[in-house]
Amino acid sequence: MTIVHDQYSVDWIKRLPLWDNPFFVTIPCYSEPDVKTTLLSLDKAAGYSDNDIVTILLINSSVGDDRDVLLKNKNALETAISIEPRNYYLVPLWVRDIPDRLSGVGYARRLAMDAACFYCKKYGFPENPVLCLDADSTVAENYFIETTRFFNHHPELDAASIYFEHPVQEVEDSRLKSGIIDYENHLRYFILAQKWSGHPHAFHTVGSSMAVRAAAYSREGGMNKRKAGEDFYFLHKFSKNGTLGICNETAVLPASRISDRVPFGTGRAMLDIKAGKSWTTYAPETFFDLKRINDGLRSGYQKSENEVWAELPVSFQKFIDLGTFEGKFKQVCKHSASSESYTKRLFQWWDAFMVFKYAHFCRDHFYPNLPVDKAVYEFFDTIGQQTPNDPEEQLEMLRRLDRSRGSKGE
């Protein structure tokens, strides 16, 4: 069933049918050439679900968009209207003339997720999840089965990072195929190396493969309006309070295609690769130092700031000066009545964003980036993990390691 409205408003949301147990999928759509593949993929997966699946396709355009963007958006709307899915309710909506200062994927996600969460809260489904997808991604057939199972089995968790794989075998150009393998290996290596180092917030944050309970979405202030990186900042709200988990029993397949709409992500990576860029990643020494930092900070309860500082590597001491560290460390200790509360507060400060900045600092000042396959081999070989040299075989290994993680990231 397809439900079409011209205006985005609370009244529009209130006019949606009353479903028994709705699971919402929210999809921002901007200048997309092919939404049909995504929508049909959802239809297939929805056929295995006992829930009422509702997909909000939020087509969006800004006041400054050119004719080509508007034409693609018009075609996307017409395609959505024509599909008439058998197994879920499709709600396509075109939000036009968004001010340039607001336009972007963060704002589009927010509009769609706000609508879904408003509905869930108003009609008594506050614990139901709202799923996030992109208009160029497909899903495994068990997508709804496993996301439903995840949230049913883990009432203590509010959000999920869903397993993803780029469909690299569909990339015919050998250079682009090699590039997307390097890119995915870089993503997985970065997270798995953080996990090995003992950092508690080592989670993938991919906008097309995440989900959140409706009530928790509102409690955490909803989606941000960033034009890029919105997924990182959104999911790490939940990693910091311990309510983010990993749903590894299904898969989202983000398209391996070129795009210039955002400054980073898969589309931008493919664009850079086509332009001749060779993908590189952080040197293993970055994570060996990160482990020393995490271990040193974690063991710092009831120690003086000078004792802790002396145990930290030079890369950290150059990244954060002693005065700044003393202030942060004293603040953490002042409000910590136990080692458990100390550790929690510590990683509220030394969070995923700080680690990201630290990795960039190491890249620029201590350990230059390496080719991805070299970095992966050296890191895992050093920690005693048998590692292939071939990038495609490395990808298989990294995917296997990622999928072996438990629902809470262990």
Instruction: Assign 10 a pLDDT band (cuts: 50, 70, 90).
Output: low
Three-class HEC string of 62-118: ECCCCHHHHHHHHHHHHHHHHHCCCCCEEEEEEEEEECCCCCCHHHHHHHHHHHHHH
Count of beta carbons in the 10 Å neighbourhood of residue 37: 13
Q: What per-residue confidence (pLDDT) applies to 309?
A: 96
Mean of the pLDDT values across residues 208-219?
97
Question: What are the residue ranges spanned by the domains of the chain?
Answer: 10-281, 284-368
174-197 helix and 284-298 helix, angle to the nearest 10 degrees:
20
Bridge partners, 55 (sequence order): 25, 90
DSSP strands (E only) in 172-329: 210-213, 244-254, 280-281
Mean of the pLDDT values across residues 376-381?
98
Residue 220, pLDDT > 80, answer yes
Residue scoring higher pLDDT (212 or 95): 212
Q: What per-residue confidence (pLDDT) applies to 347?
A: 96
> In degrees, to the nearest 5, what angle opens at C-alpha 338 toward C-alphas 294 and 217?
70
Residue 185, pLDDT > 90, answer yes
Q: What per-residue confidence (pLDDT) applies to 266?
A: 56
pLDDT digits (tens, 9 = 90+) for 110-155: 999 999 999 999 999 999 999 999 999 999 999 999 999 999 999 9
Q: What per-residue confidence (pLDDT) applies to 172?
A: 83
Q: What per-residue confidence (pLDDT) applies to 17?
A: 84
Q: What per-residue confidence (pLDDT) applies to 257?
A: 59
Residue 232, pLDDT > 90, answer yes
pLDDT digits (tens, 9 = 90+) for 80-103: 999 999 999 999 989 988 988 888
Residue 346, pLDDT > 90, answer yes
pTM, 2 dp: 0.92
d(CA 227, CA 87): 32
Return mean pLDDT, the chain: 91
pLDDT digits (tens, 9 = 90+) for 260-310: 555 555 555 666 666 667 789 999 999 999 999 999 999 999 899 999 999
HSE-CB for 168 with a 13 A CA cutoff:
20
For 382-394, give the DSSP string.
HTT----SSHHHH
% pLDDT > 70, the chain: 92
Residue 207, pLDDT > 90, answer yes
Instruction: Assign 176 a pLDDT band (cuts: 50, 70, 90).
Output: confident
Q: What per-residue confidence (pLDDT) applies to 248?
A: 96
Residue scoring higher pLDDT (165 or 227): 165
Kind of pairing between the strands at 370-371 and 280-281: antiparallel
Q: What per-residue confidence (pLDDT) applies to 268?
A: 59
d(CA 216, CA 193): 29
Instruction: Assign 37 a pLDDT band (cuts: 50, 70, 90).
Output: very high
Q: What per-residue confidence (pLDDT) applies to 131?
A: 98
Q: What per-residue confidence (pLDDT) applies to 69?
A: 93
User: Phi/psi at 262 (nearest 5 deg)?
Assistant: -130, 160
Cα torsion 374, 379, 382, 385 to 10°: value is: -100
Residue 324, pLDDT > 80, answer yes
Q: What per-residue confidence (pLDDT) applies to 168?
A: 92
| Out of 3-7, 16-20, 26-30, 236-240, least confident range | 3-7
Instruction: Assign 372 a pLDDT band (cuts: 50, 70, 90).
Output: very high
Residue 259, pLDDT > 90, answer no
Report, at the CATH architecture level, how domain 10-281 is classified: Alpha-Beta Complex (3.90)
Q: What is the CA radius of gyration of the chain?
A: 22
Q: What per-residue confidence (pLDDT) applies to 24?
A: 97
Q: What per-residue confidence (pLDDT) applies to 272?
A: 67
Mean of the pLDDT values across residues 190-205?
97
Mean of the pLDDT values across residues 382-397?
96
d(CA 63, CA 402): 41
Residue 16, pLDDT > 90, answer no
Q: In the structure encoding, which two tokens stand for residue 10, read together?
A: 């609370």
